[in-house]
Structure formats: structure tokens, C-alpha cells
Amino acid sequence: MNSFLSISPDNYGENIIETLGFGKTVAFGGMMVLIGMLTVFAVLVLIWGCLTLFRVLFHDVQSKKTVKVETEPVVAEPVEIVSQTDDEELIAVISAAVAAAESENDGLKFRVVSFRRL
């Protein structure tokens, strides 16, 4: 790579504030912050664009095709009374399980009708 902001590749391994001075170092560092952040944003925005296309191409189309299927109701059993902390943990676990089940079933609709403590 050729010199960048009058800093040649020879200087990349050196203390540039000593050899080139404060002003040039600030200009060089500031430009790197700008270029670096812009590159990271550009790449991730491109991926965002692709993922938005994914939604249109794969999710919305499949959702229209998917027949609504509901799981057989499971016989409900009485839930034990547990502490508030346990409840919060339980809700977190159940939310994660539902999200995982949703993502693994290719858009298949289902309804959770009961929870049973084992």
C-alpha cells in the first residue's frame, strides 16, 4: 500500500508521533477512526440489506404457504406455587424454548397450552 496521509508504510512499525509530529498523527488517527467505522457500518448494512431480502424471499413467501397447524392440547396439570425468583427464571427458560422451537420448525405455527414441572 502507498503512503496514506503522508505516512508511508515504512512508518507503520514506528512511533509516528515522534517521527511525524502531533498534528499528522492526529490527522492519521482520526482518518483511521472514520475509515474503520465507515467500513464496519458499510459491511454490516450490506448484510442487513441481504437479511431484509431473506425475509421477503424465504419467510414471507413460506408463511403464505404454511398451513396453520396447532399441536394437540396436552392435558394441563396443576402448577406448583413457586417463589417469584423461580417464576422469573421459568419465564426466561420458557421464552427461550418457545423461540428455539419457532426457529427450528420452519415457520410452523403452534400453541403452547400447558407447562408441567418435572
Partner 1 sequence: MLDTIKNFLSTTGISQLFSQSNWWQYLAMYVIIGALFYLAIVKKFEPLLLLPIAFGMLLANLPGANLIHLDFFFDTYYINVEDGKIIGTLSYEMTKFIDAVKTAFPDINIISLTDTGVKIDISALTSQQLEQFKIIFKENLGEYAKLTNNYAVQIKLSTIVREVINNGGLVDILYLGVKLGIYPSLIFLGVGAMTDFSPLIANPKSLLMGAGAQLGVFVAFFFALLLGFSPMEASSIGIIGGADGPTAILVTKTLAPHLLGAIAIAAYSYMALIPIIQPPFMRLLTTESERKIKMVNLRPVSKTEKVIFPIIVTMLVVFIVPDAAPLVGFLMLGNLFNVCGVTERLSKTAQNELCNIVTIFLGVSVGATANAENFLKLQTIFIIVLGLCAFIVSTCGGLITGKIMCKLTGGKINPLIGSAGVSAVPMAARVSQDEGRKADPSNFLLMHAMGPNVAGVIGSAVAAGVFLSFFR
* Interface contacts to partner 1, rule CB under 8 A: 1, 4, 7-18, 22, 25-26, 28-30, 32-33, 35-37, 39-48, 50-52, 54-55, 58-59, 62, 84, 88, 91-92, 95-96, 99-100, 102-108
Q: Which is nearer to partner 1, 30 or 76 (CB)?
A: 30
Positive or negative CA dihedral for 3, 5, 7, 12?
negative
What secondary structure letter does DSSP report for 14? S
> Where does the chain show beta strands of DSSP type E?
none
Q: How far is the CB of 41 from partner 1 (least distance, A)?
A: 5
Grid cell of 74 as nine digits? 396436552
Q: Which is nearer to partner 1, 8 or 114 (CB)?
A: 8
Q: How far is the CB of 117 from partner 1 (least distance, A)?
A: 19
Q: Which residues on neighbouring strands pair with residue 7, listed in sequence order?
A: 4
Q: Which is nearer to partner 1, 77 or 115 (CB)?
A: 115
CA distance 34 to 14: 22
CA distance 11 to 28: 12
Residue holding cell 425475509? 55
Helix (H, G, I), strand (E, B) or coil at 28: helix
Q: How far is the CB of 80 from partner 1 (least distance, A)?
A: 20
Q: Which is nearer to partner 1, 35 or 113 (CB)?
A: 35
Q: How far is the CB of 76 from partner 1 (least distance, A)?
A: 22
